[in-house]
Amino acid sequence: MPLGAEGFTVIDLPEVAPDILPSYDDCPVDDYMGNGTRFKRFSQYKLTPAEDENWSFKRLPHRDYTTYKKFNSVGGGIRRVYEPIEVDFTPLISEGIRELGLDRSEPWQINVHQNRTRAEGGRPGPLTPEGVHHDGHEFVMIAILNKVNVAGGTTRLWKPGADAPFWSGTLEAGQAVLLDDRGLAHDVTDVLSADGGPGHRDIVIIAFSRWAEKWYGEEHDAAALEEQDA
């Protein structure tokens, strides 16, 4: 397993391009998660091994986001309509790929979630309203790019059946956690205002699945929606 015996690692991120952080100001509100405190864009890519240990990123035609209710009790089993991401996160994603040692014997698919969570006095920003959960993918990368006047947001990792997390940490801007999503569950505590005024936390989440597992397209969407209808 690329992540070692514990199934996770925390890494330092490379500096992002100048257009990345300002792009969070234009993320539309997420109508499905966060009760008005989350703002989001979403895109999907196919990863294909290329020369010199590199990867080719192909942005896939934009689709509604669907996932299974067994993985997300709040936002699963429905179509979630998001605007596509407008900036290039692939250099940052490539850093995660290197750290994961992603299997180069086959192509992969990634879901890329650009999220801003806002908080102010008396109104926290819930980060995982679905509670302790798996996302359903093979690996997940959660990268913190900016934090402005916020507290909270502690990431917690859980082993199967555990009553308490075996690891917790509050990631700072410029850090990411990579985790074995099948071996570990995770949640994140609410974002809070640091001084009672407005604040926000900007992240990008990358979920890695093997292309053969079909996490993209009509077949995947139908299966996720049928689970809700059952």
Show Cβ contacts of residue 148 under 8 Å, excluding neighbours closer than 6 positions: 199, 200, 201
Q: What is the pLDDT of residue 229?
A: 46
191 strand-pairing partners: 125, 152
Residue 229 within any structural domain of the chain = no
Residues of the chain scoring pLDDT < 70? 1, 228-230
Residue 190 within any structural domain of the chain = yes
Report the candidate in 67, 116, 105 with the shortest Cα–Cα distance to residue 216: 67
Element (H, E) at 74: none
Residue 60 within any structural domain of the chain = yes
Residue 1 within any structural domain of the chain = no
- Asked if 71 and 135 touch (Cβ cutoff 8 Å), the reply is yes
Residue 33 within any structural domain of the chain = yes
Residue 52 within any structural domain of the chain = yes
- Asked if 170 and 155 touch (Cβ cutoff 8 Å), the reply is yes
pTM equals 0.95
- Asked if 159 and 7 touch (Cβ cutoff 8 Å), the reply is no
Residue 230 within any structural domain of the chain = no
Q: How many residues does the chain have?
A: 230
The residue range of the domain holding 150 is 6-224
Q: What is the pLDDT of residue 230?
A: 42
Report the CATH number at residue 164.
2.60.120.620
Q: What is the pLDDT of residue 228?
A: 54
Residue 167 within any structural domain of the chain = yes
Q: What is the pLDDT of residue 23?
A: 98
Q: What is the pLDDT of residue 2?
A: 72
**pLDDT tens string 50-98:** 998 899 999 999 999 999 998 888 888 999 999 999 999 999 999 999 9
- Asked if 27 and 85 touch (Cβ cutoff 8 Å), the reply is no
What CA–CA distances, in Å, run from 2 to 100, 147, 171, 195?
A: 5, 29, 21, 40
Alpha-carbon dihedral sign for residues 69, 74, 165, 140: positive
Q: How many domains does the chain have?
A: 1
